[in-house]
Structure 1
Amino acid sequence: MRGRSVSPVFVGREEELAALSESLDEARKGKVTAVLLGGEAGVGKTRLVHRFAEHCAAGGAQVLFGGCVELSTEGLAYAPFTAALRQLVREQGPAAVAALLPEGAERDLARLLPEFGEPSGHGETDTGRARLFEQFLTLLERLADSRPTVLLIEDIHWADRSSRDLIAFLSRNLHIPQVLIVMTYRSDDLHRQHPLRPVLAELGRVHGVHRLDLPRLSRDEVAQQMTGILGKVPEYGSVTKVYERSEGIPLFVEAMLESGEDCTFPESMQDLILNSVERLPEETQRVLRIAAAGGIRVGHALLAAVSGLSDVELETALRPAIAGNVLQVADNRAYVFRHSLIREAVHEELLPGEHQRLHARYAEEISKDRTLVPMGRAPVELAHHWYGARNDLWALISAWEAAQKSFKAFAYTESVPLLERVLMLWDRVPGAAERIGADHTAVLERAAEAANAGGEVDKGMKFVKAALSELDETLEPGRVAQLMVRRAGFKTSKGHMSVIEDLRHALRLVPEESLDRAEVLGPLSRQLMLRGENDEASEIIAEGLRLAREHGDRCLEADLLLNLALGHSLNGELESTIMVNEQALEIGHEEHSGRIITRAIGNTVDALIDIGREEEAIRLSEQGWEIAKKYGRLRGSGLFIMNNWAEALESIGRWDKAVEIVDTALSHGPHRKTRYCLLRVRADIALARGELQLVESILSEIGVLKDRAEDWVQDITANARLHIGWHLLRGEPGAALAVAERVLSHPRQSSKAMLGWQLLALLRTVCDAAEATEPERAAAVRAHAAEVAAELSVIGPVVEAYRLSYTGDFDAAAAAWERLKRPHNQAKALLRAATAAARSGDREGAATRLAQALPLARALRATPLIEEIETLSRRVGGGPQSAQEPSELLTPRELEVLRLVTQGRTNRDIAAELFISAKTVSVHVSNILAKLGVTTRGEAAAAAHRFSLLV
């Protein structure tokens, strides 16, 4: 049965090939971004995507290839993207590729490929990686301007963390036509803790990303594969035997046919895969074992050096392996195992001593001549091989070098395991500090920096804690202070509330007039401001500004100015806020600091919203978002700008656009604080539209329903406002009143006038709703609210409109909101004014106000507000729906209560079923009796049946 080892006929994948082709067609229209192709090892993923690539190329598309290798888990960052970039440079030249990018952007790509020159020296480690991501995104977009572009990335189950992050970034942000990313992975390798699993789950929720699973071959398809390999139709019995033994996995079919006429099936899959290797000459097998130690791909020159063979001897030894399709020839005189399973099986056959010797040989040869591996890969290759050789000294040295290389390429998450290896080997290497030029604490500090830049907060905390345990603050106070500032940043990211003490401790350690002191004063003053301790924060900012200016640190000066502007904002001094932000922005431009520029823009947008200049805020947000992308600040200040952009849109009633902005920002994986801010904007819209389930989901995530403690007074105020709104939406004024009591009892209220008056206006609504059932509590809340109001400033039209709503001048408030072009606030004020008019007997005046409010609410699809307006319209007889049908008199909640009343349920039973209080049920029942014109629950039940209210 001996024939070809691989079928020349493409078998059994027509449906999947058609699906990929359809995805490309959809990508041309901008509807599909990426395809995730999963399947077991050996099931034919590579053959399928390469056939697809042939179809793409035949249709005029640009196809770029990149593959992940096992070595990437030890720090070979961005391996598939480097390979694709290298292919593009080989085809078009570095100058043509650079011409596709913004001026100077190729210096960012130089971190992946030295052909682009010297990498940029930008020192902001948290921005460089994001900027690299943006440049790769831009490159794909520019390539697609001329023709469809397909990026094929194989074996992403081996992808390094940075590659996984870049894959997720591209999948979320490719929104232009003609680009498609196809990625393959081993589905059977994804154990529960596999790092790819959360990435796949995340991408599965991204619009435009499709999943495609490659199944095993059917019996008929195995028969077709066998026919192609053998060159003749196999016997029925042979097909049955091969199909049952291989279970439809093409690689195993090939291996069984290679085993001979009887298609014997070895005891293990490894034996099966090795069959084709073991029939090769002994010298060929020996060289294959050497090649397997080098990885799935090994250059000819490197393999010759390690094996000690001449070019002719090496080619002679490998020719049978190439003829038998065990090994394939790749570009740049490299050899690649046909399948990673073959390499793995051969590598597993190495004896322990042989394994160490071969890795040592690779390390020695690469050390002598680094051009034996692709440019830029030598440090990581050396770290891998010296570690495999069990040479502790050189394993430590090479891991340190590779970590620095990964750091330089913004591959911070790849630096972390390399630095952990340095720490693990430290005690085994005498004089380790002298060997790498850094002490043990410096390695921990570097690891903490890498963890911080890569977002690995828990690891970063461990590194900082370990570093602090090694230092004596009396001998190295500055070093300890820097670590404590870093720890405070980690704690803030985790939502801890003890950072102030860390920062105060750090401040005590630094010299009085030093720049180090100013660097601690910056984060300390910001934390104090956000906690409502404005007076102390202002004093600290003044000191910090003096020190920063004396030492000439312009960026630090700008940071402190932005903290000062935050203080002005909290005090309601919005014009001063904008003026100081502009000073910081000017410094940012002078110093070319993207961090300062984008932070200043975000803060200015916030101030413009508070002052009622939303259209300006929206325009600046759009500009700020583009600037954030330009400076690689997309996931930091960029998402903060998007949050403020969404807030501006929400305030003027452009809710659908606001939801779109929120969803886009959330897809970028913001940090916890920013995510919560975005979710609050979404919750505001959901409350206004009556989307109760969505509101509950958001409030659960941000901890509102669990009363999770918050440290920043703005968060406390915003959470309380949403919590109150949720209870009111559920018809629970008593519970809303309890939240009002708790927030008023907090020792520090927000000094930000807009937030304060917004909350007070809502508290009036709560008290009005609860007064009928709990007059004493409502009166107490009103009195406490009045005390807070007495301390708040009234600056600007937005604050004045909220103040009018709080004081009950609803007609004036409605007029103010109309001038500000805030339709939801205007409609609510009109409803309150109509309610007051109706109570005073002015039915006509109430109807007029309601007629103005209703179209505003309908345009927003503000369902709860629409229902309130329509209900009051029916009662005053002035609306279009005033027919007074009994079914129209009752709200949806009241109909729910009535249904349970007709079943004979008690108030307590109804409360338990509807998750509301018994007092709230009593209020609902009273309203139902009044609306139906009956006096007892039995009469209400009879009326429900008579008028078919519950059909």
Structure 2
Amino acid sequence: MATPGASVASTARDMLSVVESIRLSPVFAGRTEEMETLNAALARADAGEPQAFLIGGEAGVGKTRLLEEFLRGAEERGAMTAVGRCLELGTDGLPYHPFVTAARALTGNEAELEAVLPEFAPDAVSELWPWGLVDMDDTHPREGRSRLFELTAQAFERLAADRTVVLVLEDLHWADRSSRELLAYLYRSVHRTRLLIVATYRSDDVHRRHPLRPFLAELDRMRVVTRLDLRRLTREEVRAQLAGIRDLAEPEPALVARVFDRTDGNPFFVEELVSSGGDRLSESLRDLLLVRIEELPDHAQRVVRMAGEGGDLVEYGLLAAVTAMPEDELLDALRAAVAGCVLVPDVSCGRDAYRWRHALLREAVCDDLLPGERSRLNRRYAEALEGEPGLVPAEEFRTRVARHWHHARVAAKALPAVLAAAAEARGRHAFAEQHELLERALELWDEAPADVRAVVDWEDFGKAEAYPPAGGYVDLLAEKVIAARYAGEHERAYSAAKWALKLVDEEREPVRAAWFWLQRNRLVCDLGRGDGWKEISRARELLAGQPPSDVHAAVLASAAGWAMVHAPSADGLRTAEEAVALAVASGSDEQEINARVTAGVLRCLLGDHERGLSELLATRERAHELDDHLGVVRAGLNLSAELGALGRSAEAIEAAEAAAATAGRHGRGCTAAFALANKAEAQRSLGRWDDAEDTLARAADVVRSPLVRGAIALNRAALTLLRGHDEAAGTHLADARELIGTEASQPQVAIPLRAMDLELAGRRDDREEARRILSTALDEGFPPGQHRHAWPLLRIAAAHAVAEPDLLARLREAAAALPQDAPVWVAYARLTEAELARAEGASAPDAWAAAATAFEPLDRPYELALARHRWAEALLASGQRAAAAALLRQAYETADRMRAAPLRDELAQLAARAGIPLVQEPEAPTAEDDAFGLTAREREVLRLVAQGRTNRQIAEELFISPKTVSVHVSNVMAKLGVSTRGEAAYKARPVLEGR
């Protein structure tokens, strides 16, 4: 088989420089509305508002042409454009291929790339961004995938910071799953930048079971994505297209009518029909398309049929090797195919290549091949690639070889090629594609000769999960379990683990069997089919008496983690300590840090707080020593959480800030944002609400992960609710639920969500909804360690008096079961008890006094103000006016300073009803004040009231808030002993006239 030399490549390049694709429709007909929509989106992107579009339409309707016209205009306006195309490879899909091809389109801007991406360049260009950004050996695979997504979003955000970037991904119906997931991440996470993302797909290909269908459903739920569905052309638009094709000012009406009726306005079919003379349209679309092929010379037809099996785009050198034609004959054939509008020269891949003018042409050609012909052609492609790997881009080599050998039906060659492609997909964090390739390897296993199976390299199998390979079919199953779990295919991973356990002899291979039981433990939890205790217990039984190993350490660390979440106990702590010892003995640093963090948290949950916190601090230092920044951050986040759970919020802020700083130094913006969300929660506890808002704004600047954005939305919901912005709080809660997704059911999220829902229902006086929320919360209970979230929920439930007698009893029962292992929770217990007494109709000033006294030394100003409010209310009921007035003023000052509007309003209303002034002026009363005791500011307010001014108008004139005006008006009316503003003005007329 001939291999093209340098002269061939040079000749091809010369040909590419002079041969142009013949466009059958030089006139861009129709699409006025769509172009206006896209141009308007470009203008918004230019203004710094990122845009996201999804364009669907049937084959031939003009999606590519629309984008070509739009991109031409965008470039004229100074935008940087990058187009990536998906390849029709089915389960062989090249991971992230459309992003790689789009990145290549940016390689002409190396200086600009290096300026905005200094930590990425030159890798962003030379190492095939995006996966060149992440070192597989430097991080856990699943963490590496998250890191890859985050860095890609960050890269595009920076590129588009000062210059608009238009990213186009075509033919999404052929996209690999990893590309779809990365695109969804970009759609959700990129914000505050000049980026416009457009993806296209062929709608008539998306059948009921097509993998793109659930992706489209997911995008429909995103408010940030605009869908455009391209319709067929109207009769008038077909007339304009025909005018362009025929170079006629006005096509004959009969021709327009015939073409429109027979094509139904599909632009591609219009072109094909006109090019065939308009009389050769058969019932079969395939036959119509083959007309164009059959019109080519024989040698050109041969080249075109061979090119079909090469893919949507085939390199010139590869085609030359496969056809084995003399150079002049090949170039002449290609020239004919280009002139016949079948193939189009393409240099987007960085080398001479050809792509099909339309995918439908390739599909027709491939469908016309005989089965044996297809197998033979795929074998020739595979042999050509193995003979000269440089014929295709390096990142495509293994996948394309695997595909060709598989379609050639040569198992001896296909198995090692598929395994190599699977390993490469794993290295690119493309776990969905790795899993599909492993499925193919399992199918090929029995077909491949024994000597081929014997030489498979198992060294890296299961590396990410410390699997001990033995060499064989079970090892393929182990790798499949890992890949499927990382890809989110939990059901398929669970089935593979079950099958493997039927094949493994547990007596002869206890460690391998324990590994599979550990995977089943995780998958049972992921699938919601249990708590995983049975599976983890079986793994521990199998490892009893076995020497230290990574598997043993991982099993015990998981058992300790189970205890931490489900049933904190001394046995769980001993298991964690044993896991630490085994991890040290086996040299597993990752498992050591993991187990140490678990041990520290368990100590805190068991009441040994100081030792637990010391353990977490020591673990953070140990992670520093091991240069394990992920371990540093995990220890720091748990340290912050446990300090917060003890009410030591100031220390929690320091720990969260340190974790955020570490994550930030290593470019992990989303992890840093999560730590900042923890910090904001602690600031909110301390009453530093403005600081908390600033911290959340910092977090929002660096976050891209939907999960972390959900955590920020949850924090914002809590703040806006405290300040009385109920509508905004409801919006934030909805955003949090959407962004957090299924993890919203976890107790640390579900309980705060219910508490805020309960508060909103109480403010609406929707007692039925409030009872439903409370009943659900009590039915599900509060797992160990969740008392920090449970106490506020119980307090809210009692405060709104939503409970009937049986629910009040359940509230008391739930409160009695919650820990009071820190002063803050002792104070919350007293506050909740006082609220329960009030809900039952008791005044209970002593209970409120106890709650206020408990909160006074704790730096919890909001909760202290709550207690003082109700204490004052109880004192007023018993006639103790002076003491109540002091408490009301203290609580009001706090609520006003923190802008806690609901509490501030309740305090003002209570004070008004009691005739207690909340605002006291420092100056002594003048003689004119003696009659009514009005202060100078109150006289100013009264003067404006008498003039008929509203509270807002008074606030604007006196430069104070409307709420403060309301308080002054209430005080004035209380002092004057009147009930209306008119009465107040009339009764104080002597004072006003004296001025």
* TM-score, reference length from structure 2: 0.76
Match of 1:792 in 2: 820
- Asked which structure has the greater RCO (Cα within 8 Å, sep 6+), the reply is 1
Using a 3 Å threshold, how does the CA distance of structure 1 residues 496 and 27 change in structure 2: closer, same or farther? same
Using a 3 Å threshold, how does the CA distance of structure 1 residues 36 and 150 change in structure 2: closer, same or farther? same
Match of 1:411 in 2: 430
The equivalences for 1:179-578 within 5 A come to 179-206=195-222, 208-232=224-248, 233-260=250-277, 262-331=278-347, 332-431=351-450, 433-434=453-454, 436-437=456-457, 438-510=471-543, 511=545, 514-515=548-549, 516-571=551-606, 576-578=611-613
Q: Measure, in 2, the Cα distance between the counterparts of 1:208 and 1:709.
A: 21
Q: Measure, in 2, the Cα distance between the counterparts of 1:807 and 1:254.
A: 80
Displacement of 1:394 in angstroms is 2.4
Using a 3 Å threshold, how does the CA distance of structure 1 residues 340 and 686 change in structure 2: closer, same or farther? farther
Using a 3 Å threshold, how does the CA distance of structure 1 residues 645 and 168 change in structure 2: closer, same or farther? farther
Match of 2:678 in 1: 644
Match of 1:165 in 2: 181
Using a 3 Å threshold, how does the CA distance of structure 1 residues 726 and 442 change in structure 2: closer, same or farther? farther
Match of 2:827 in 1: 801
Q: Measure, in 1, the Cα distance between the counterparts of 2:57 and 2:502.
A: 47
**8 Å contact from structure 1 (residues 134, 629) kept in 2:** no
Q: Deviations over 1:835-883 (max 9, x none)?
A: 3223323466556655665687689897876786677567656599xxx
Q: Measure, in 1, the Cα distance between the counterparts of 2:34 and 2:785.
A: 60
Displacement of 1:699 in angstroms is 12
The equivalences for 1:38-49 within 5 A come to 38-49=56-67
What residue identity is the alignment partner of 1:256?
A: L
Q: Which deviates further from its counterpart, 415-424 or 748-757?
A: 748-757
Match of 1:935 in 2: none
**8 Å contact from structure 1 (residues 753, 794) kept in 2:** no
**8 Å contact from structure 1 (residues 85, 113) kept in 2:** yes
Displacement of 1:567 in angstroms is 1.9
What residue identity is the alignment partner of 1:131?
A: R
Match of 1:909 in 2: none
SS in 2 for 1:70: coil
Using a 3 Å threshold, how does the CA distance of structure 1 residues 858 and 454 change in structure 2: closer, same or farther? farther
Indicate yes or no: 2:858 matched with 1:841: no
Using a 3 Å threshold, how does the CA distance of structure 1 residues 669 and 479 change in structure 2: closer, same or farther? farther
Q: Deviations over 1:494-523 (max 9, x none)?
A: 344331222222122224551343222212
Displacement of 1:617 in angstroms is 4.8
Q: Which deviates further from its counterpart, 365-374 or 203-212?
A: 203-212
Displacement of 1:409 in angstroms is 1.2
Match of 2:48 in 1: 30
Q: Measure, in 2, the Cα distance between the counterparts of 1:399 and 1:139.
A: 32
Give the number of aligned pairs. Answer: 862
Using a 3 Å threshold, how does the CA distance of structure 1 residues 702 and 133 change in structure 2: closer, same or farther? closer
Displacement of 1:781 in angstroms is 5.8
**8 Å contact from structure 1 (residues 659, 682) kept in 2:** no
Q: Measure, in 1, the Cα distance between the counterparts of 2:237 and 2:777.
A: 69
Using a 3 Å threshold, how does the CA distance of structure 1 residues 701 and 100 change in structure 2: closer, same or farther? closer
Q: Which deviates further from its counterpart, 844-853 or 833-842?
A: 844-853
Q: Deviations over 1:762-786 (max 9, x none)?
A: 57658x765xx63x8756864x467
Match of 1:590 in 2: 625
Q: Measure, in 2, the Cα distance between the counterparts of 1:167 and 1:45.
A: 19
SS in 2 for 1:428: coil
Aligned mate of 2:31, from 13, 29, 33: 13
**8 Å contact from structure 2 (residues 124, 133) kept in 1:** no
* TM-score, reference length from structure 1: 0.79
Using a 3 Å threshold, how does the CA distance of structure 1 residues 28 and 623 change in structure 2: closer, same or farther? farther
Q: Which deviates further from its counterpart, 501-510 or 622-631?
A: 622-631
Using a 3 Å threshold, how does the CA distance of structure 1 residues 749 and 313 change in structure 2: closer, same or farther? closer
Using a 3 Å threshold, how does the CA distance of structure 1 residues 573 and 879 change in structure 2: closer, same or farther? farther
Aligned mate of 1:668, from 678, 688, 705: 705
Q: Measure, in 2, the Cα distance between the counterparts of 1:628 and 1:730.
A: 41
Q: Measure, in 1, the Cα distance between the counterparts of 2:554 and 2:480.
A: 21
Q: Deviations over 1:312-367 (max 9, x none)?
A: 11111121221122211011210111111111122111122222221222122112
Q: Deviations over 1:549-600 (max 9, x none)?
A: 3444333222122112212432466555544333222333333334312312
Task: Give 5+ residue unaligned stretches, structure 1.
Answer: 881-951
Q: Deviations over 1:395-424 (max 9, x none)?
A: 322221111111111111111111111112
Q: Measure, in 2, the Cα distance between the counterparts of 1:181 and 1:639.
A: 24
Match of 1:899 in 2: none
Match of 2:85 in 1: 67
Displacement of 1:817 in angstroms is 5.7
Match of 1:825 in 2: 863
SS in 2 for 1:350: coil
Q: Measure, in 1, the Cα distance between the counterparts of 2:807 and 2:59.
A: 68
Q: Measure, in 2, the Cα distance between the counterparts of 1:823 and 1:764.
A: 20
**8 Å contact from structure 1 (residues 327, 336) kept in 2:** yes
Using a 3 Å threshold, how does the CA distance of structure 1 residues 407 and 678 change in structure 2: closer, same or farther? same
Using a 3 Å threshold, how does the CA distance of structure 1 residues 335 and 702 change in structure 2: closer, same or farther? closer
Q: Measure, in 2, the Cα distance between the counterparts of 1:737 and 1:289.
A: 70
Q: Measure, in 1, the Cα distance between the counterparts of 2:626 and 2:565.
A: 27
SS in 2 for 1:188: helix
Q: Measure, in 2, the Cα distance between the counterparts of 1:351 and 1:633.
A: 52
Using a 3 Å threshold, how does the CA distance of structure 1 residues 554 and 43 change in structure 2: closer, same or farther? same
Match of 1:943 in 2: none
Q: Which deviates further from its counterpart, 139-148 or 476-485?
A: 139-148
Over aligned residues, Cα RMSD in angstroms?
Answer: 4.4
Q: Deviations over 1:258-307 (max 9, x none)?
A: 011x4553212223333322222232222211111111100111112212
Displacement of 1:148 in angstroms is 2.9
Using a 3 Å threshold, how does the CA distance of structure 1 residues 123 and 867 change in structure 2: closer, same or farther? closer
**8 Å contact from structure 2 (residues 238, 267) kept in 1:** yes
Percent identical residues: 35
Displacement of 1:701 in angstroms is 9.8
Match of 1:929 in 2: none
Displacement of 1:135 in angstroms is 3.1
SS in 2 for 1:298: strand
Displacement of 1:175 in angstroms is 2.3
Using a 3 Å threshold, how does the CA distance of structure 1 residues 609 and 105 change in structure 2: closer, same or farther? farther
Q: Measure, in 2, the Cα distance between the counterparts of 1:562 and 1:144.
A: 40
Using a 3 Å threshold, how does the CA distance of structure 1 residues 757 and 693 change in structure 2: closer, same or farther? closer
Using a 3 Å threshold, how does the CA distance of structure 1 residues 701 and 182 change in structure 2: closer, same or farther? closer
Match of 2:8 in 1: none
Indicate yes or no: 2:163 matched with 1:147: yes
Q: Measure, in 2, the Cα distance between the counterparts of 1:326 and 1:83.
A: 22
Using a 3 Å threshold, how does the CA distance of structure 1 residues 868 and 224 change in structure 2: closer, same or farther? same
Using a 3 Å threshold, how does the CA distance of structure 1 residues 388 and 664 change in structure 2: closer, same or farther? farther
**8 Å contact from structure 1 (residues 72, 79) kept in 2:** no
**8 Å contact from structure 1 (residues 444, 463) kept in 2:** yes
